[in-house]
């Protein structure tokens, strides 16, 4: 068999498999996407997907759960868009935390905003950026998060980002992607630069 025939046969086989997969995937509904791992690319992937939704005229909301996010390029670019509601929660947990109880109250307040959005059918997509830290540091009960995500409208998609993903969220997710840290410019001595890191 010559090279071309062999290649054509391989491609035909591949096409049959892909077509069968497409025929099987018939459902249309909102999904839960988790973006986890230690490499760079989780939040930027979430905002890229969000931009895709907005491009199709869909309404979206973003909640950023970490502190000091008001000067990011994504916020400055998207905050005034009529289809985007952008909430910067920005309470001071992580290693700067001074007061667990205070931060817990702040995280719960932020989550109350999320719960409202997760009941609102007008939103095609909700991005919960860096939510995982609030759960991993025990500011938020994971079961409360799971319940709200599971109770959302049928057609609403949710994207959650954060390095360490709770297993309870993975258990109910539709798409889970892990960004692996192979190399990062920071370790080569390059500082966090506007327009690249934030």
Binding region for ligand ATP (CB under 6 A): 38-44, 130, 161, 163, 179, 181, 184, 186, 192, 197-198
β-strand pairing of 125-129 with 60-64: parallel
Question: Looking up tokens 């307040």, which residue turns up?
Answer: 109
Q: Which does 182 bind (CB under 5 to 8 A by kind): Mg ion, ligand ATP, none?
A: none
CA distance 117 to 145: 13
Q: Which does 44 bind (CB under 5 to 8 A by kind): Mg ion, ligand ATP, none?
A: ligand ATP
State which of positions 70-99 bind Mg ion (CB under 5 A): none
Q: What's 79's DSSP letter? A: T
Q: Between 31 and 70, how does the x/- string for binding to Mg ion read (CB under 5 A)?
A: -----------xx---------------------------
Q: With respect to ligand ATP, which residue has the nearer C-beta, 18 or 196?
A: 196
Structure tokens at 142: 């994971």
> Min. distance of Cβ 130 from Mg ion in angstroms?
5
Angle between the N-to-C axes of helices 100-117 and 142-150, in degrees from 0 to 180, rounded to the nearest 10: 10
CA distance 42 to 40: 6
Q: With respect to Mg ion, which residue has the nearer C-beta, 22 or 95?
A: 95
Q: Which does 184 bind (CB under 5 to 8 A by kind): Mg ion, ligand ATP, none?
A: ligand ATP
Ranges of H-type helices in the chain: 3-24, 42-55, 73-78, 100-117, 132-136, 142-150, 167-172
Does position 134 interact with Mg ion (CB under 5 A)? The reply is no
Binding footprint of Mg ion on the chain (CB under 5 A): 42-43
């Amino acid at each position: 068999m010559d090279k071309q025939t062999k290649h054509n046969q391989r491609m035909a086989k591949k096409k049959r498999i892909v077509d069968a997969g497409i025929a099987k995937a018939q459902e249309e509904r909102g999904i839960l996407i988790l973006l986890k791992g230690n490499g760079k690319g989780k939040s930027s992937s979430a905002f890229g997907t969000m931009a895709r939704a907005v491009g199709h005229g869909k309404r979206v909301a973003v909640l950023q759960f970490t502190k000091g996010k008001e000067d990011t390029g994504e916020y400055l670019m998207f905050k005034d868009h009529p289809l985007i509601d952008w909430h910067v929660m920005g309470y001071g947990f992580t290693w700067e935390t001074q007061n667990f109880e205070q931060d817990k109250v702040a995280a719960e307040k932020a989550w109350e905003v999320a719960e409202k959005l997760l009941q609102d059918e007008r939103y095609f997509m909700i991005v919960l950026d860096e939510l995982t830290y609030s759960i991993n540091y025990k500011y938020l009960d994971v079961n409360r998060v799971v319940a709200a995500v599971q109770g959302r409208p049928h057609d609403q998609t949710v994207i959650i980002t954060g390095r360490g993903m709770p297993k309870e969220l993975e258990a109910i997710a539709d798409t889970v992607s892990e960004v692996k840290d192979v190399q990062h410019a920071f370790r080569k001595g390059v500082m966090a630069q506007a327009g690249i890191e934030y």
